Structure 1
Amino acid sequence: MPNSNAIFASLSASDASALRPHLKSVHLESRRILFDVGDVIDSVYFPTSAVVSLVVGLSTGEMVEGAMVGKDSIVGVAAAMDSKLAFTQAIVQLPGDAFVCDASAFKGVAMQSERLLSLLFRHEQAVYAQAQQSTACMAAHDVRSRLCRWLLRARDLSGGDHLAFTQEFLAEMLGVRRTSVTFDAHALQQAGLIKYSRGKIQILNVDGLHEGACECYETVRSQYAKLLGRNRKAHDARSMSGVAHG
Protein backbone atom coordinates (compact mmCIF):
# COMPACT_ATOMS: atom_id res chain seq x y z
CA MET A 1 0.00 0.00 0.00
CA PRO A 2 1.25 3.55 -0.74
CA ASN A 3 0.58 4.46 2.91
CA SER A 4 3.54 2.26 3.88
CA ASN A 5 5.64 5.18 2.68
CA ALA A 6 5.73 7.84 5.40
CA ILE A 7 5.68 10.75 2.97
CA PHE A 8 2.63 9.46 1.13
CA ALA A 9 0.92 8.63 4.43
CA SER A 10 1.34 12.25 5.53
CA LEU A 11 -0.39 13.71 2.46
CA SER A 12 -3.77 15.38 2.68
CA ALA A 13 -6.69 13.27 1.50
CA SER A 14 -7.04 15.36 -1.66
CA ASP A 15 -3.35 15.16 -2.57
CA ALA A 16 -3.28 11.41 -1.95
CA SER A 17 -6.38 10.94 -4.13
CA ALA A 18 -4.84 12.99 -6.92
CA LEU A 19 -1.59 10.99 -6.89
CA ARG A 20 -2.99 7.49 -6.38
CA PRO A 21 -4.18 6.90 -10.00
CA HIS A 22 -0.63 7.62 -11.23
CA LEU A 23 1.09 5.12 -8.92
CA LYS A 24 2.32 1.74 -10.08
CA SER A 25 3.62 -0.97 -7.75
CA VAL A 26 7.13 -2.21 -8.58
CA HIS A 27 9.71 -4.50 -7.02
CA LEU A 28 13.23 -3.10 -6.97
CA GLU A 29 16.08 -5.60 -7.16
CA SER A 30 19.36 -5.11 -5.33
CA ARG A 31 21.95 -3.04 -7.23
CA ARG A 32 19.38 -1.69 -9.69
CA ILE A 33 20.30 1.85 -10.73
CA LEU A 34 17.18 4.02 -10.69
CA PHE A 35 19.03 6.90 -12.30
CA ASP A 36 22.62 7.93 -12.87
CA VAL A 37 24.45 11.24 -12.78
CA GLY A 38 23.37 13.32 -15.75
CA ASP A 39 20.16 11.39 -16.39
CA VAL A 40 16.88 13.23 -16.93
CA ILE A 41 14.56 12.02 -14.17
CA ASP A 42 11.40 10.53 -15.65
CA SER A 43 10.10 8.65 -12.60
CA VAL A 44 9.57 9.40 -8.92
CA TYR A 45 9.73 6.54 -6.41
CA PHE A 46 7.92 6.08 -3.10
CA PRO A 47 9.82 3.18 -1.45
CA THR A 48 7.81 1.03 0.94
CA SER A 49 10.40 -1.63 1.79
CA ALA A 50 13.26 -1.05 -0.67
CA VAL A 51 16.27 0.94 0.55
CA VAL A 52 18.12 3.24 -1.84
CA SER A 53 21.54 4.87 -1.62
CA LEU A 54 22.23 8.24 -3.20
CA VAL A 55 25.89 8.06 -4.13
CA VAL A 56 28.55 10.24 -5.71
CA GLY A 57 31.12 8.67 -8.01
CA LEU A 58 34.78 9.68 -8.11
CA SER A 59 37.17 9.68 -11.06
CA THR A 60 38.93 6.68 -9.51
CA GLY A 61 35.77 4.61 -9.89
CA GLU A 62 35.02 4.71 -6.17
CA MET A 63 31.54 5.54 -4.87
CA VAL A 64 30.65 7.35 -1.66
CA GLU A 65 27.16 7.41 -0.18
CA GLY A 66 25.68 10.82 0.51
CA ALA A 67 22.31 9.68 1.84
CA MET A 68 20.35 6.50 2.53
CA VAL A 69 16.62 6.73 1.90
CA GLY A 70 13.63 4.41 1.94
CA LYS A 71 10.12 4.37 3.33
CA ASP A 72 10.68 7.79 4.93
CA SER A 73 11.47 9.48 1.62
CA ILE A 74 10.75 10.04 -2.07
CA VAL A 75 13.47 9.33 -4.63
CA GLY A 76 14.02 11.66 -7.57
CA VAL A 77 11.58 14.37 -6.61
CA ALA A 78 13.90 17.40 -6.78
CA ALA A 79 15.14 16.80 -10.32
CA ALA A 80 11.67 15.76 -11.49
CA MET A 81 10.09 18.96 -10.19
CA ASP A 82 12.46 21.38 -11.92
CA SER A 83 13.33 19.26 -14.97
CA LYS A 84 17.02 19.29 -14.13
CA LEU A 85 19.45 16.42 -14.44
CA ALA A 86 20.31 14.05 -11.62
CA PHE A 87 23.50 14.97 -9.80
CA THR A 88 23.78 11.71 -7.84
CA GLN A 89 23.35 8.06 -8.68
CA ALA A 90 20.43 6.28 -7.02
CA ILE A 91 21.21 2.60 -6.50
CA VAL A 92 19.00 0.06 -4.74
CA GLN A 93 20.82 -1.00 -1.62
CA LEU A 94 18.30 -3.51 -0.25
CA PRO A 95 15.68 -5.09 -2.53
CA GLY A 96 12.05 -4.40 -1.82
CA ASP A 97 8.87 -2.75 -3.02
CA ALA A 98 8.06 0.78 -4.08
CA PHE A 99 5.45 2.79 -5.91
CA VAL A 100 6.60 4.64 -9.00
CA CYS A 101 4.97 7.71 -10.54
CA ASP A 102 5.65 9.38 -13.88
CA ALA A 103 7.61 12.54 -13.15
CA SER A 104 5.38 14.76 -15.30
CA ALA A 105 2.22 13.46 -13.62
CA PHE A 106 3.79 13.96 -10.19
CA LYS A 107 4.78 17.54 -11.03
CA GLY A 108 1.28 18.25 -12.33
CA VAL A 109 -0.29 17.17 -9.03
CA ALA A 110 2.31 18.96 -6.92
CA MET A 111 1.91 22.26 -8.73
CA GLN A 112 -1.78 22.27 -7.81
CA SER A 113 -1.13 21.92 -4.07
CA GLU A 114 0.69 24.46 -1.92
CA ARG A 115 0.60 21.98 0.97
CA LEU A 116 2.29 19.26 -1.09
CA LEU A 117 4.92 21.68 -2.39
CA SER A 118 5.72 22.70 1.18
CA LEU A 119 6.18 19.06 2.16
CA LEU A 120 8.45 18.43 -0.82
CA PHE A 121 10.65 21.40 0.05
CA ARG A 122 11.00 20.16 3.62
CA HIS A 123 11.72 16.64 2.37
CA GLU A 124 14.56 17.91 0.19
CA GLN A 125 15.92 19.88 3.13
CA ALA A 126 16.02 16.70 5.19
CA VAL A 127 17.83 14.73 2.45
CA TYR A 128 20.30 17.58 1.96
CA ALA A 129 20.87 17.77 5.72
CA GLN A 130 21.52 14.01 5.77
CA ALA A 131 24.11 14.41 3.01
CA GLN A 132 25.81 17.19 4.96
CA GLN A 133 25.77 15.03 8.09
CA SER A 134 27.35 12.17 6.14
CA THR A 135 30.17 14.45 5.01
CA ALA A 136 30.86 15.56 8.58
CA CYS A 137 30.60 11.95 9.75
CA MET A 138 33.27 10.75 7.31
CA ALA A 139 35.61 13.49 8.43
CA ALA A 140 35.13 13.20 12.20
CA HIS A 141 34.11 9.67 13.18
CA ASP A 142 35.87 6.33 13.11
CA VAL A 143 34.82 3.46 10.85
CA ARG A 144 33.27 1.35 13.63
CA SER A 145 30.91 4.07 14.88
CA ARG A 146 29.97 4.89 11.28
CA LEU A 147 29.31 1.22 10.57
CA CYS A 148 26.99 1.02 13.60
CA ARG A 149 25.14 4.12 12.41
CA TRP A 150 24.83 2.75 8.88
CA LEU A 151 23.47 -0.62 10.03
CA LEU A 152 20.91 1.03 12.30
CA ARG A 153 19.72 3.31 9.50
CA ALA A 154 19.42 0.35 7.11
CA ARG A 155 17.48 -1.58 9.76
CA ASP A 156 15.07 1.32 10.31
CA LEU A 157 14.32 1.63 6.60
CA SER A 158 14.08 -2.08 5.81
CA GLY A 159 12.08 -2.96 8.92
CA GLY A 160 14.11 -6.10 9.62
CA ASP A 161 17.22 -7.43 11.33
CA HIS A 162 18.48 -9.40 8.31
CA LEU A 163 20.43 -7.27 5.84
CA ALA A 164 21.77 -8.61 2.54
CA PHE A 165 25.08 -6.73 2.30
CA THR A 166 28.51 -7.81 1.15
CA GLN A 167 31.51 -6.30 2.89
CA GLU A 168 32.60 -4.90 -0.46
CA PHE A 169 29.34 -2.97 -0.75
CA LEU A 170 29.60 -1.73 2.83
CA ALA A 171 33.13 -0.51 2.15
CA GLU A 172 31.96 1.34 -0.97
CA MET A 173 29.12 3.08 0.82
CA LEU A 174 31.28 4.05 3.78
CA GLY A 175 34.12 5.19 1.54
CA VAL A 176 36.74 2.98 3.20
CA ARG A 177 38.85 -0.04 2.36
CA ARG A 178 37.28 -3.47 2.67
CA THR A 179 39.91 -4.45 5.25
CA SER A 180 38.63 -1.72 7.55
CA VAL A 181 35.05 -2.99 7.29
CA THR A 182 36.21 -6.59 7.81
CA PHE A 183 38.11 -5.65 10.97
CA ASP A 184 35.27 -3.65 12.52
CA ALA A 185 32.53 -6.07 11.46
CA HIS A 186 34.52 -8.85 13.14
CA ALA A 187 34.80 -6.74 16.31
CA LEU A 188 31.03 -6.15 16.32
CA GLN A 189 30.42 -9.86 15.84
CA GLN A 190 32.82 -10.75 18.68
CA ALA A 191 30.88 -8.32 20.89
CA GLY A 192 27.63 -10.12 20.04
CA LEU A 193 26.10 -7.15 18.22
CA ILE A 194 25.86 -8.72 14.77
CA LYS A 195 26.34 -12.01 13.00
CA TYR A 196 27.64 -12.01 9.47
CA SER A 197 28.39 -14.48 6.73
CA ARG A 198 29.05 -13.95 3.04
CA GLY A 199 26.58 -11.35 1.80
CA LYS A 200 24.41 -11.42 4.93
CA ILE A 201 24.36 -9.48 8.19
CA GLN A 202 22.02 -10.21 11.09
CA ILE A 203 21.59 -7.60 13.80
CA LEU A 204 21.54 -9.29 17.20
CA ASN A 205 21.80 -6.40 19.66
CA VAL A 206 20.15 -3.12 18.65
CA ASP A 207 20.93 -1.39 21.95
CA GLY A 208 24.59 -2.30 21.57
CA LEU A 209 24.68 -0.78 18.10
CA HIS A 210 23.04 2.37 19.48
CA GLU A 211 25.81 2.64 22.06
CA GLY A 212 28.47 2.17 19.41
CA ALA A 213 26.97 4.50 16.79
CA CYS A 214 28.11 8.07 16.33
CA GLU A 215 25.80 10.99 17.03
CA CYS A 216 24.91 11.24 13.33
CA TYR A 217 22.37 8.42 13.60
CA GLU A 218 20.16 10.30 16.05
CA THR A 219 20.72 13.59 14.23
CA VAL A 220 19.35 12.18 10.98
CA ARG A 221 16.41 10.55 12.79
CA SER A 222 15.59 13.89 14.41
CA GLN A 223 15.72 15.68 11.07
CA TYR A 224 13.20 13.28 9.55
CA ALA A 225 10.98 13.44 12.63
CA LYS A 226 10.80 17.22 12.22
CA LEU A 227 10.04 16.77 8.53
CA LEU A 228 7.04 14.54 9.16
CA GLY A 229 5.91 15.88 12.53
CA ARG A 230 3.30 18.44 11.51
CA ASN A 231 1.97 16.46 8.56
CA ARG A 232 1.83 13.23 10.55
CA LYS A 233 -0.33 14.89 13.20
CA ALA A 234 -2.65 16.24 10.52
CA HIS A 235 -2.89 12.79 8.91
CA ASP A 236 -3.69 11.14 12.25
CA ALA A 237 -6.34 13.79 12.97
CA ARG A 238 -8.01 13.13 9.62
CA SER A 239 -7.96 9.39 10.27
CA MET A 240 -9.61 9.85 13.67
CA SER A 241 -12.18 12.18 12.13
CA GLY A 242 -13.01 9.54 9.55
CA VAL A 243 -13.51 6.94 12.27
CA ALA A 244 -15.70 9.30 14.28
CA HIS A 245 -17.97 9.95 11.31
CA GLY A 246 -17.94 6.41 9.96
Structure 2
Amino acid sequence: MLHSNAILASLSTSDTAALRPHLKATHLPQNTVLYETGDTIKAVYFPMSAVVSLVVSLASGEMTEAAMVGRDGAVGLASALDGKIAMCRAVVQLGGDAMVCDPVAFRGTALQSESLISTVMRHEQTLLAQAQQSTACMANHEIDARLCRWLLRARDLSESDNLPFTQEFLAEMLGVQRTSVTTVARTLQEAGMVKYARGKIEILNVDGLREGACECYETIKQQYGQLLGRPHQ
Protein backbone atom coordinates (compact mmCIF):
# COMPACT_ATOMS: atom_id res chain seq x y z
CA MET A 1 0.00 0.00 0.00
CA LEU A 2 2.92 2.37 0.70
CA HIS A 3 3.85 2.39 -2.98
CA SER A 4 0.78 4.55 -3.68
CA ASN A 5 2.65 7.56 -2.29
CA ALA A 6 5.81 8.54 -4.17
CA ILE A 7 7.69 9.68 -1.05
CA LEU A 8 7.04 6.45 0.83
CA ALA A 9 7.74 4.37 -2.27
CA SER A 10 11.14 6.07 -2.71
CA LEU A 11 12.42 5.17 0.77
CA SER A 12 15.14 2.61 1.32
CA THR A 13 14.27 -0.76 2.80
CA SER A 14 15.72 0.25 6.18
CA ASP A 15 13.87 3.60 6.26
CA THR A 16 10.62 1.88 5.32
CA ALA A 17 11.09 -0.70 8.08
CA ALA A 18 11.79 2.02 10.65
CA LEU A 19 8.83 4.18 9.63
CA ARG A 20 6.21 1.50 8.96
CA PRO A 21 5.23 0.93 12.65
CA HIS A 22 4.33 4.62 12.95
CA LEU A 23 2.13 4.79 9.84
CA LYS A 24 -1.64 4.40 9.99
CA ALA A 25 -4.12 4.32 7.15
CA THR A 26 -6.84 6.97 7.19
CA HIS A 27 -9.49 8.46 4.95
CA LEU A 28 -9.60 12.23 4.43
CA PRO A 29 -13.06 13.53 3.49
CA GLN A 30 -13.32 16.39 1.02
CA ASN A 31 -13.17 19.88 2.59
CA THR A 32 -11.48 18.60 5.77
CA VAL A 33 -9.14 21.23 7.21
CA LEU A 34 -5.97 19.45 8.31
CA TYR A 35 -4.60 22.56 9.99
CA GLU A 36 -4.96 26.33 9.98
CA THR A 37 -2.22 28.94 9.74
CA GLY A 38 -0.47 29.16 13.11
CA ASP A 39 -1.63 25.73 14.31
CA THR A 40 0.82 23.23 15.74
CA ILE A 41 1.32 20.43 13.21
CA LYS A 42 -0.04 17.33 14.92
CA ALA A 43 0.22 14.85 12.03
CA VAL A 44 2.22 14.18 8.89
CA TYR A 45 0.06 13.08 5.95
CA PHE A 46 1.18 11.02 2.96
CA PRO A 47 -1.71 11.21 0.47
CA MET A 48 -2.43 8.07 -1.54
CA SER A 49 -5.52 9.18 -3.43
CA ALA A 50 -6.47 12.33 -1.48
CA VAL A 51 -5.37 15.74 -2.78
CA VAL A 52 -4.62 18.63 -0.42
CA SER A 53 -4.44 22.36 -1.15
CA LEU A 54 -2.07 24.58 0.82
CA VAL A 55 -3.89 27.88 0.98
CA VAL A 56 -2.91 31.40 2.02
CA SER A 57 -5.76 33.33 3.66
CA LEU A 58 -6.03 37.11 3.92
CA ALA A 59 -7.70 39.21 6.61
CA SER A 60 -10.43 40.07 4.08
CA GLY A 61 -11.40 36.40 3.89
CA GLU A 62 -9.96 35.86 0.43
CA MET A 63 -7.93 32.69 -0.17
CA THR A 64 -5.43 31.62 -2.82
CA GLU A 65 -3.77 28.27 -3.33
CA ALA A 66 0.02 28.27 -2.96
CA ALA A 67 0.57 24.58 -3.68
CA MET A 68 -1.24 21.31 -4.37
CA VAL A 69 -0.06 18.10 -2.72
CA GLY A 70 -1.12 14.56 -3.53
CA ARG A 71 0.41 11.14 -4.01
CA ASP A 72 3.68 12.77 -5.14
CA GLY A 73 4.36 14.44 -1.79
CA ALA A 74 3.41 14.91 1.85
CA VAL A 75 1.78 17.46 4.14
CA GLY A 76 3.42 18.53 7.40
CA LEU A 77 6.80 17.00 6.54
CA ALA A 78 8.59 20.12 7.81
CA SER A 79 7.87 18.92 11.35
CA ALA A 80 10.89 16.64 10.90
CA LEU A 81 13.00 19.79 10.60
CA ASP A 82 11.42 21.27 13.72
CA GLY A 83 8.90 23.21 11.64
CA LYS A 84 6.10 22.63 14.12
CA ILE A 85 3.96 25.66 13.25
CA ALA A 86 1.83 25.65 10.10
CA MET A 87 2.56 28.57 7.78
CA CYS A 88 -0.65 28.15 5.76
CA ARG A 89 -3.99 26.41 5.76
CA ALA A 90 -4.16 22.80 4.55
CA VAL A 91 -7.55 21.70 3.22
CA VAL A 92 -8.54 18.48 1.48
CA GLN A 93 -9.71 19.45 -2.01
CA LEU A 94 -10.32 15.85 -3.14
CA GLY A 95 -11.28 13.26 -0.57
CA GLY A 96 -9.33 10.01 -0.50
CA ASP A 97 -6.94 7.79 1.38
CA ALA A 98 -3.69 8.71 3.09
CA MET A 99 -1.12 7.37 5.51
CA VAL A 100 -0.71 9.44 8.66
CA CYS A 101 2.21 9.57 11.08
CA ASP A 102 2.78 11.24 14.44
CA PRO A 103 5.25 14.11 13.82
CA VAL A 104 7.37 13.28 16.89
CA ALA A 105 7.78 9.69 15.73
CA PHE A 106 8.51 10.80 12.20
CA ARG A 107 11.12 13.31 13.32
CA GLY A 108 12.81 10.73 15.52
CA THR A 109 13.00 8.30 12.61
CA ALA A 110 14.22 10.95 10.17
CA LEU A 111 17.00 12.13 12.48
CA GLN A 112 18.36 8.59 12.54
CA SER A 113 18.61 8.41 8.76
CA GLU A 114 20.64 10.67 6.49
CA SER A 115 18.73 9.44 3.43
CA LEU A 116 15.32 10.14 4.99
CA ILE A 117 16.26 13.62 6.22
CA SER A 118 17.61 14.32 2.74
CA THR A 119 14.26 13.31 1.25
CA VAL A 120 12.48 15.64 3.68
CA MET A 121 14.71 18.56 2.74
CA ARG A 122 14.30 17.95 -1.00
CA HIS A 123 10.53 17.71 -0.60
CA GLU A 124 10.32 21.00 1.27
CA GLN A 125 12.54 22.64 -1.36
CA THR A 126 10.26 21.32 -4.11
CA LEU A 127 7.16 22.51 -2.25
CA LEU A 128 8.68 25.99 -1.97
CA ALA A 129 9.50 25.92 -5.69
CA GLN A 130 5.87 25.04 -6.45
CA ALA A 131 4.65 27.97 -4.35
CA GLN A 132 7.09 30.30 -6.12
CA GLN A 133 5.95 28.98 -9.50
CA SER A 134 2.33 29.60 -8.51
CA THR A 135 3.16 33.20 -7.59
CA ALA A 136 4.81 33.80 -10.96
CA CYS A 137 1.91 32.06 -12.70
CA MET A 138 -0.69 34.29 -11.05
CA ALA A 139 1.23 37.43 -11.98
CA ASN A 140 2.00 36.59 -15.59
CA HIS A 141 -0.39 34.05 -17.08
CA GLU A 142 -3.99 34.38 -18.24
CA ILE A 143 -6.82 32.76 -16.31
CA ASP A 144 -7.62 30.21 -19.03
CA ALA A 145 -4.04 28.88 -19.08
CA ARG A 146 -3.92 28.79 -15.29
CA LEU A 147 -7.21 26.89 -15.06
CA CYS A 148 -6.00 24.33 -17.62
CA ARG A 149 -2.80 23.88 -15.60
CA TRP A 150 -4.73 23.53 -12.34
CA LEU A 151 -7.19 20.97 -13.72
CA LEU A 152 -4.37 18.89 -15.21
CA ARG A 153 -2.46 18.74 -11.93
CA ALA A 154 -5.61 17.82 -10.00
CA ARG A 155 -6.26 15.09 -12.57
CA ASP A 156 -2.70 13.76 -12.30
CA LEU A 157 -2.82 13.55 -8.51
CA SER A 158 -6.32 12.06 -8.28
CA GLU A 159 -5.87 9.81 -11.35
CA SER A 160 -9.43 10.66 -12.34
CA ASP A 161 -11.08 12.60 -15.15
CA ASN A 162 -14.01 13.47 -12.87
CA LEU A 163 -13.34 16.31 -10.45
CA PRO A 164 -15.98 17.45 -7.92
CA PHE A 165 -15.21 21.17 -7.94
CA THR A 166 -17.58 24.10 -7.77
CA GLN A 167 -16.82 27.33 -9.62
CA GLU A 168 -16.60 29.09 -6.25
CA PHE A 169 -13.84 26.70 -5.16
CA LEU A 170 -11.92 27.08 -8.42
CA ALA A 171 -12.14 30.86 -8.14
CA GLU A 172 -10.75 30.74 -4.58
CA MET A 173 -7.86 28.49 -5.55
CA LEU A 174 -6.93 30.64 -8.55
CA GLY A 175 -7.43 33.93 -6.71
CA VAL A 176 -9.94 35.30 -9.23
CA GLN A 177 -13.60 36.27 -9.40
CA ARG A 178 -16.16 33.53 -9.93
CA THR A 179 -17.41 35.26 -13.07
CA SER A 180 -13.96 34.84 -14.60
CA VAL A 181 -14.02 31.10 -13.91
CA THR A 182 -17.53 30.86 -15.33
CA THR A 183 -16.40 32.47 -18.58
CA VAL A 184 -13.32 30.28 -18.95
CA ALA A 185 -15.19 27.09 -18.01
CA ARG A 186 -17.81 27.87 -20.66
CA THR A 187 -15.08 28.40 -23.26
CA LEU A 188 -13.40 25.10 -22.39
CA GLN A 189 -16.73 23.30 -22.55
CA GLU A 190 -17.58 24.79 -25.94
CA ALA A 191 -14.15 23.65 -27.17
CA GLY A 192 -14.95 20.10 -26.07
CA MET A 193 -12.18 19.96 -23.46
CA VAL A 194 -14.40 19.59 -20.41
CA LYS A 195 -17.99 18.89 -19.51
CA TYR A 196 -19.24 21.03 -16.68
CA ALA A 197 -22.26 20.37 -14.48
CA ARG A 198 -22.99 22.03 -11.16
CA GLY A 199 -20.18 21.06 -8.82
CA LYS A 200 -18.64 18.57 -11.23
CA ILE A 201 -16.07 18.81 -14.01
CA GLU A 202 -15.36 15.95 -16.41
CA ILE A 203 -12.17 16.21 -18.44
CA LEU A 204 -12.79 15.12 -22.02
CA ASN A 205 -9.67 16.24 -23.88
CA VAL A 206 -6.41 15.96 -21.94
CA ASP A 207 -4.22 16.88 -24.92
CA GLY A 208 -6.32 20.00 -25.50
CA LEU A 209 -5.85 21.06 -21.87
CA ARG A 210 -2.12 20.48 -22.14
CA GLU A 211 -1.96 22.71 -25.21
CA GLY A 212 -3.92 25.39 -23.37
CA ALA A 213 -1.99 25.16 -20.09
CA CYS A 214 0.85 27.50 -19.22
CA GLU A 215 4.43 26.29 -18.85
CA CYS A 216 3.97 25.97 -15.09
CA TYR A 217 2.27 22.59 -15.47
CA GLU A 218 5.35 20.93 -16.96
CA THR A 219 7.71 22.89 -14.70
CA ILE A 220 6.06 21.64 -11.52
CA LYS A 221 5.93 18.11 -12.92
CA GLN A 222 9.66 18.23 -13.60
CA GLN A 223 10.38 19.54 -10.12
CA TYR A 224 8.63 16.59 -8.51
CA GLY A 225 10.46 14.18 -10.82
CA GLN A 226 13.75 15.67 -9.66
CA LEU A 227 12.63 15.34 -6.04
CA LEU A 228 12.72 11.57 -6.37
CA GLY A 229 15.87 11.57 -8.46
CA ARG A 230 14.35 10.45 -11.71
CA PRO A 231 13.04 12.26 -14.82
CA HIS A 232 9.33 12.98 -15.03
CA GLN A 233 7.15 11.02 -17.42
Residue 4 of structure 2 corresponds to which residue in structure 1? 4
Cα deviation digits, residues 154-177 of structure 1 (max 9, x gap): 000001100010000000000000
Distance in 2 (CA, whole Å) between partners of 1:23 and 1:170 is 32
> Aligned AA for 2:8?
F
What CA distance in whole angstroms lies between the structure 2 residues aligned with 1:50 and 1:153?
13
Residue correspondence of structure 1 range 1-246 to structure 2 within 5 A = 1-229=1-229
Determine the C-alpha separation between the residues in 2 that align with 1:194 and 1:224: 26
For 1:199 and 1:206, the matched residues in 2 are separated by 20
User: Structure 1 residue 141: deviation in Å?
Assistant: 0.3
Q: Which amino acid aligns with 1:198?
A: R
Question: How far apart, in 2, do the equivalents of 1:61 and 1:10 lie?
Answer: 38
Is the contact made by 1:171 and 1:177 (CA closer than 8 Å) also made in structure 2? yes
Could you say which structure has the larger radius of gyration? 1
Amino acid at match of 2:182: T
1:2–1:46 CA contact under 8 A, matched in 2: no
Letter in 2 for 1:132: Q
The structure in which a higher percent of residues are helix is 1
Is the CA contact 1:166–1:198 (under 8 Å) kept in the aligned structure 2? yes
Note the C-alpha offset of 1:83. 4.4
Once the two structures are TM-superposed, the CA of residue 81 in structure 1 deviates from its matched residue by: 3.1
Q: Deviations over 1:100-121 (max 9, x none)?
A: 0000000010000000111111
Secondary structure, in 3 states, of the residue corresponding to 1:66?
strand
Unaligned runs of 5+ in 2: none
Counterpart CA distance in 1 for 2:45 and 2:59 is 28
Q: Please tell me whether the aligned partners of residues 148 and 209 of structure 1 are also in contact (alpha carbons under 8 angstroms).
A: yes
Q: Distance in 2 between matches of 1:40 and 1:34?
A: 11
Cα distance, 1:79 vs structure 2:
3.5
Task: Report how many residues are paired.
Answer: 232
Contact 1:52 / 1:91 at 8 angstroms: preserved in 2?
yes
| Stretches of 4+ aligned residues off by more than 3 angstroms | none
| Secondary structure, counterpart of 1:229 in structure 2 | coil
Q: Please report the RMSD computed on the Cα atoms of aligned residues, expressed in angstroms.
A: 1.3
TM-score normalised to the size of structure 2?
0.97
Distance 1:79 1:231, change over 3 A: farther
Q: CA deviation at 1:80?
A: 4.8
Q: Which amino acid aligns with 1:89?
A: R
Matches of 1:21 and 1:11 in 2, distance apart?
15
Determine the C-alpha separation between the residues in 1 that align with 2:222 and 2:35. Answer: 28
State the Cα deviation string for residues 179-217 of structure 1 (Å, max 9, x = none): 000000000000000001011100000000000000000
Partner of 1:236: none
Return 5+ residue gaps in structure 1 as ranges.
233-246
Alpha-carbon distance change, 230 to 206 in structure 1, aligned in 2, over 3 angstroms: closer
Alpha carbons of 1:210 and 1:83: their partners in 2 closer, same or farther (altered >3 Å)? closer
CA distance in 1, matches of 2:222, 2:81: 26
Identity, in percent, stands at 66
